[in-house]
Amino acid sequence: MPGTFWIDAGYVRRYKSGMKTKTSVTLSHAILQAIDEHMGACRSRSEFIETATRLYIEHLKKKAAALRDLEIINNHADTLNNEAEDVLGYQAPI
């Protein structure tokens, strides 16, 4: 997973309540070792995985929003560039 994600205790505490569903996930030994080494404020692997997953989903949502914004800008690029050129035409020479 690209990028760095930090898990703070305040973030973890906000998501302690609510209904939970027990599930089974198969992970490699290396991933389990990495989880154990980086658990920080998390009290269990489940808590760590839930927090990491929540953060990653938020990251994906932000990335999708940024891509939508870029698409909107690109769709209006010609108009925006023409307006910028027009404004620069009023600028006094330096």
**Domain ranges across the chain:** 45-94
pTM exceeding 0.75: no
- Residue 1 confidence class, pLDDT cut points 50, 70, 90: very low
Structure token pair of residue 50: 């839930």
- Half-sphere exposure (Cβ direction) of 93: Cα atoms closer than 13 Å: 0
pLDDT, tens digit, for every residue of 23-40? 999 999 999 999 999 999
CB 5, CB 59: distance < 8 Å: yes
Which pLDDT score is estimated for 47?
Answer: 94
